[in-house]
Structure 1
Amino acid sequence: MIYTMTFNPALDYIVKVPGYQEGTVNRTAAEKIMAGGKGVNVSVVLQNLGVPNTALGFIAGFTGGEIERILKQLGCHTDFIRLPDGNSRINVKLKADKETEINGQGPSIPESAMAVLYQKLQMLKDGDCLVLAGSIPSGLPDSVYCEIMERLNGRNLNIIVDAEKDLLKNVLSYHPFLVKPNHHELGALFGKTLTGIKEIAEHAYLVQEMGARNVLVSMAGEGGILVTEEKQAFFSPAPRGKVVNSTGAGDSMVAGFLAGYLDGKNYEKAFRMGLCAGSASAFSTELAAGNEIAALYETMIKEPIKQI
């Protein structure tokens, strides 16, 4: 079973405002409300691919109830912990001449709720996958992912971390199965801007030396790089298409990679599936449907992946 963990899920309020102007009244041309958060997005795309999974996390208030309702409507299984106070956050995604995001803070998570989470995580079985994705609410320390991995240390679990800065750096010594920085986040780990396939791959290897078993680097429209525990490195350009929505593309890449890996434990297939799922979401107004991912995969499988 795959479990996704989202500490701070959200309602994403996506509004299209052509000709947006500051300091005056603007009218939307289109609007949409979706359940959001990195782990939530992974769960939705896995569900779209027919891969059973459970979404874990914390919800609060009427917004939390709506997040859960939307996910259940999409067929996702949830096991959220409901907090007694506050409301789950609302993130505003403004689509105008430039994309602008305003992300809410989210509710406080008390120690009692964290204790419930740790109890749930102890129920994971050998061979299960746990996806730790996204930011941590301000009331929790940056070490919380490390705390989770410490408690699960020694278990036969595949833990995937999609985070940045210290949240990512601090977990590497616990040897996560997969980390998925984008090339900007990868460079930030080393205090530099990375350019070119060779330099990005070299730094992915450095992250592997720091403890990660596999390193998947997303490069937006340029494609991606995978460095595997089998000491292989792959590069592939992204499938061709028109980008209409960047939200959730990286999370979709994680979902596609996991779906591909669990179907035969072949890293090249997992890499292709990850690229196709990420691109399919970028080419869609919503997170990618299973048939959209499959269509891209059928096209991409005809092209060889470059080993670097």
Structure 2
Amino acid sequence: MIYTVTFNPALDYITDVPDFREGEINRSCGEKILSGGKGINVSIVLKNLGLESTALGFIAGFTGDEIERGVRSFGCNTDFIKLNSGLSRINLKIRSKHETAVNGGGPLIPREKIDELFSQLSGLSDGDILVLAGSIPPSLPADTYETILERLQEKKIRIVVDATGQLLLNVLKFRPFLIKPNREELEELSGRVLKGEKEIILACKDLQALGACNILVSLGGDGAILVSETGGVYQSAAPRGKVVNTVGAGDSMVAGFLAGYLRNKSLPEAFRTGIAAGSASAFSENLATGKEVSALLKTMKG
């Protein structure tokens, strides 16, 4: 089974205001409300690609109930931990001449609820896959990711970590199966500007020396690079298409990678499917569907 963890999920309220004016009453010409969060996005795309997963994390109040309802509406399994007080956050995105975002803070997560999550994860079995995605809310200990990986290191679980900065660096010693930085995040981890593919690959190998197994670097319109644990390096341009919305594209790439890998344990197939899924989401208002991913795969070489 695949499990995804979203520590601070949200309701994403997206509104279109063609001529947004600060300090005045503005009227929307369209809006939608989605259950959001990196791990949740991974679960939804996995389901669209025909794979079951269970979405874990913390929810609170009526907004938390709506987040769970939204995730389940896609056919996903959920086992969220319900907090006794507070509200899951709402993230506001105003789409106009310039895009403006206001992200909520989220509820306080008490120690006993953190322990409940640890107890959930202790039930994972050999062969399971765990996806840890996104930042840690202020109410959680800064070493939460480390604690999780340390507790699970004796089990044969493939762990995917999609995080940034020190949060990611601190868990590399536990040999995560996959990490997925974009170019800017890889530069932050490396402490230098990376000029060209050779420097990107060398930076990935530096992270492998610290413990990372497979490193998938998303390069936006320039495609992606995979430096694998077997020593292979795979590069691919992005499929052609009009970028509509990049939110969730990276999460879709993670889901696509896992879907491709689980078919026959092929890293090249995982790489191609990851690129196709990430691009399909970028080319759509919504997260990638199986049909969209299949169509893009047919256009890709290799």
Instruction: Output the TM-score relative to the length of structure 1.
Output: 0.96
Describe the SS at the equivalent of 2:298.
helix
Give the CA RMSD over aligned residues. 1.0
Hey, what's the Cα distance between the residues in 2 that align with 1:99 and 1:205?
A: 36
Opposite residue 293 of structure 1, the aligned amino acid is V
Large movers: runs of 4+ above 3 Å: none
Could you say which residue in structure 2 is the equivalent of 1:58? 58
Question: How much identity, in percent, do the aligned residues show?
Answer: 57
Q: Matches of 1:93 and 1:45 in 2, distance apart?
A: 22
Match of 1:283 in 2: 283
Q: What is the CA–CA distance in structure 2 between the aligned matches of 1:231 and 1:246, rounded to whole Å? A: 30
CA separation in 2, counterparts of 1:131 and 1:98?
32
Q: 1:9-67 deviations in whole A, cap 9, x for unaligned? A: 11011112212222222222211100000000000000111101000000000000000
* Residue of structure 1 equivalent to 2:18: 18
1:221-268 deviation digits (Å, cap 9, x = unpaired): 111110000101111111110000111000000000000001101000
Tell me how far 1:133 sits from its aligned partner. Answer: 0.2
Equivalent-residue separation in structure 2 for 1:295 and 1:79 (angstroms): 32
> Aligned equivalents of 1:32 and 1:88: distance in 2?
17
- Counterpart of 1:163? 163
- Structure 1, unpaired ranges of 5+: none
Alpha carbons 1:17, 1:29 under 8 Å: kept:
yes
2:263 aligned with 1:263: yes
Distance of 1:226 and 1:181 partners within structure 2: 11
Asked if 1:180 is matched to 2:180, the reply is yes
Task: Give 1:205's aligned residue.
Answer: 205
Partner of 1:129: 129
Deviation of 1:101 after TM superposition, in Å, equals 2.0
Alignment of 1:32-47 (within 5 A): 32-47=32-47
For 2:250, the equivalent position in structure 1 comes to 250
Sort the Cα spacing of 1:209 and 1:77 in 2 relative to 1 into closer, same or farther, 3 A. same
Q: Distance in 1 between matches of 2:244 and 2:29?
A: 15
Cα deviation, residue 191, structure 1: 2.2
Say if 1:16 and 1:30, in contact at 8 Å, map to a contact too.
Answer: yes
Amino acid aligned to 2:39: G
Q: Deviations over 1:139-178 (max 9, x none)?
A: 1122100000011111100000000011111110110000
Deviation at 1:114, TM superposition (A): 1.0
Query: 1:113: which partner in 2?
Result: 113
- 1:146 paired with 2:143, answer no
Amino acid at match of 1:282: A
In structure 2, what residue type is equivalent to 1:175? R
1:4 corresponds to which residue? 4
Distance 1:102 1:202 in 2: 37
Q: Is the contact made by 1:47 and 1:53 (CA closer than 8 Å) also made in structure 2?
A: yes
Q: Which amino acid aligns with 2:236?
A: S
Distance 1:289 1:243 in 2: 16
Between stretches 184-193 and 146-155, larger displacement belongs to: 184-193
In the TM superposition, residue 192 of structure 1 has moved relative to its aligned partner by: 2.4
Quote the Cα distance in structure 2 between the aligned partners of 1:190 and 1:284: 32
Which deviates more, 79-88 or 90-99? 90-99
Partner of 1:215: 215
Task: Work out the CA distance in 1 between the residues paired with 2:12 and 2:155.
Answer: 35
* Counterparts of 1:156 and 1:148, CA distance in 2: 14
Asked if the contact 1:142/1:166 (under 8 Å) is kept, the reply is no
Aligned-partner SS, 1:263? helix
Q: Secondary structure at the match of 1:57?
A: strand
Q: Which amino acid aligns with 1:27?
A: R
Whole-Å Cα distance in 1 between the matches of residues 49 and 247 of structure 2? 18
Displacement, 1:98? 2.5
Judge conservation of contact 1:2–1:53 (CA < 8 Å) in 2.
yes
Provide the residue aligned with 1:78 in structure 2: 78
The alpha carbon displacement at 1:197 in A equals 1.7
**Pairwise CA distance, 1:122:** 1.1
- Aligned equivalents of 1:169, 1:97: Cα separation in 2: 37
Extract unaligned runs of 5+ from structure 2: none
Distance 1:209 1:99 in 2: 39
CA apart distance, 1:289:
1.0
Say if 1:164 and 1:181, in contact at 8 Å, map to a contact too.
Answer: yes
Matched to 1:207, the amino acid is L
